[in-house]
Amino acid sequence: MVMTNQEHNDRIDRAVRAARGSWTDILNNLTGHHPAFKGKNQACPICREGVDRFRYTNQHGEGTYYCQQCGPGGPFKLLQAITGLSFLQALEAVESQVGVVVAGKPASNEPTQEHMKKLARKIWNEAVPVKAGDEVDRYLKGRGLGMAQYPDVLRFHPALGYYEKIGDAKSRKIAEYPAMLARIDGADGEALTLHRTYLQDGRKAPLPDAKKVLSAGVNGAAVRLFKPTDKLGIAEGIETALAVHLSSGMPVWAGLSAGNLEKLWLPDSVQCICIYADNDSNSAFDGQTSAYALARRLKKEFKRNTDRQVQVFVPKQDGTDWADVWLSRLNKPRRVA
C-alpha cells in the first residue's frame, strides 16, 4: 500500500504524539541504553566530533538534543545515527514501542525486539558454564585457547537449532549443533543478545554461517570477557580477545565486528586502552580502519585527561589476527640446549 505525503506525515505525527514524555525510555530500549541519553555533555553521536559539544536535552519530553556543531535536533535523527536504521525503520521501531498500529500496513513476520530478548534469555538458560571436556572446551583448546576456568559470559549449549532463511520464506531449522554462546552486554551492563558459534567434533561446524549474532542492534555493545582494571584490551573476535588475554594477562573485551568496534562503549574508569586490530591488509583494511577510528574517537574523548592512553597493535603478517599470532607462538619449535 502506497501512502500519500499527507498520510505519511499523519503517521509521523501519531507516533510523535504517542511517544511524547516517553522518549528517553524508548530511545534507551532501541539503542541498548546508549550513553548519549544520560543527559551529560559528551562527544556527538551524529557528527562524531568533539568531547562535550553534545547534550541530550529532552525538552518538554520531545527527545531533543543539542550539538554545538550539528545544532538542535530530534529523536528520529538521533536514533538513526546511533543504530544505522533508515527513517522508515526508525519510525516503525518507535511505533512498535508505543503501540501505534498503522492502518493498511501488512503484519510483519519479523520478531519484535522484546521477543528476541526473551529468546536470548531462553537459549542462555538452556546452556551451562563451560567445563573441561565439553565441546566448547575442545574447540577452544584446539585453537590454543584452553583455560582452567572460562569467563562467565561464555556458555555451552548442547543442541542449539541452526536456522536458514531461503528467499522471502520464514527461517526453518536445518539441524541442531553444540554451540558456544557469548553474552553481549550493552552500555548499561545488561545483556542485549547472544553470539553463537556452532560446533562439530571440537571444531567450527561446516556451515555457511557458523558464527552469528542472534539479533541486530548491537551498536557499541561487547562481549565483556573479563572485568576491566585501569587497563582494558579490545579485540574484534572472541577467540582473538581470549588469545590477547592469554598472551598479556590483561582483561579484554570482544567487539565482534570491525563495524561495531569503532562504536564500542568503554567505561570511564579505564586509564589505558589497548586495541588489538586484525591485519586486513590483503582485503579492504577493515580491521585497521576500525581500530584507528576507535582510537581517534577515544583520543578526542580523553583530550581533557592526559593520563589516559590509547594504543593500537596490528600483527605484522597480512591476513592474520592476534589469535593467529598466539597459535604460531605455541606451535613454534623450542630450541634444545
CATH number at 316 reads 3.40.1360.10
pLDDT, greater one: 157 or 267: 157
Residue 104 located in a structural domain = no
Percent of the chain with pLDDT over 90: 39
Closest CA to 184 of 284, 117, 267, 270: 117
Find the mean pLDDT for residues 59-77.
87
pLDDT digits (tens, 9 = 90+) for 297-328: 888 877 766 778 999 999 999 989 999 999 98
Contacts for 249 with CB less than 8 Å, ≥ 6 apart:
none
What pLDDT is attached to residue 13? 86
In a domain, 103, yes or no: no
Q: Would residue 46 count as lying in a domain?
A: yes
**What is the Cβ-side half-sphere exposure of residue 189, based on CA atoms within 13 angstroms?**
4
Could you tell me if 227 and 173 lie in one domain?
Answer: no
Is the pLDDT at 214 greater than 90? The verdict is no
227 and 336 inside one domain: yes
Does residue 89 surpass a pLDDT of 90?
no
Residue 105 resides in a domain: no
* Beta carbons of 219 and 84 less than 8 angstroms apart: yes
Tell me: do 189 and 300 sit in the same domain: no
The lowest-confidence range among 70-79, 164-173, 252-261, 295-304 is 164-173
Nearest CA-CA partner of 62 in 13, 100, 35, 24: 24
**Does residue 131 sit in the same domain as residue 76?**
no
Confidence of residue 1 (pLDDT cuts 50, 70, 90): very low
The whole-number pLDDT of residue 102 equals 64
Averaged pLDDT score across all residues of the chain: 86
Instruction: Write down which residue in 215, 246, 267 finishes a domain.
Output: 215
CATH assignment of the domain containing 35 = 3.90.580
Does the CA dihedral 65-70-75-81 come out positive or negative?
negative
Give the distance, in angstroms, between the CA of residue 5 and the centroid of all CA atoms in the same chain: 36
More confident residue, 28 or 278: 278
In a domain, 134, yes or no: yes
| 222 and 337 inside one domain | yes
At residue 107, the pLDDT reads: 47
pTM of the shown model:
0.69
Q: Does residue 170 sit in the same domain as residue 235?
A: no
Overall domain count for the chain: 3
pLDDT bracket for residue 166 (50, 70, 90): low
| Per-residue confidence (pLDDT) for residue 103, from 0 to 100 | 59
CA torsion through residues 74, 54, 289, 327, sign? negative
pLDDT tens for each residue of 96-147: 887 776 655 544 455 556 777 888 899 999 999 999 999 999 999 999 999 9
Give the CA-trace dihedral at 320, 323, 326, 329, to 10 degrees: -40
Query: Quick one: cell of 142?
Result: 584446539
Average pLDDT over residues 48-53: 77
pLDDT for res 250: 96
Q: Is the pLDDT confidence value at 249 over 90?
A: yes
Counting Cα atoms < 13 Å in the Cβ hemisphere of 317 gives 9
The pLDDT assigned to 336 comes to 53
Residue 291 pLDDT exceeds 70? yes
* Residue-range definition of the domain harbouring residue 13: 5-98
By CB neighbour count within 10 A (0-12 exposed, 13-18 middle, 19+ buried), where does 284 fall? exposed
Is 196 in the same domain as 293? Answer: no
The answer to whether residue 176 sits within a structural domain is yes
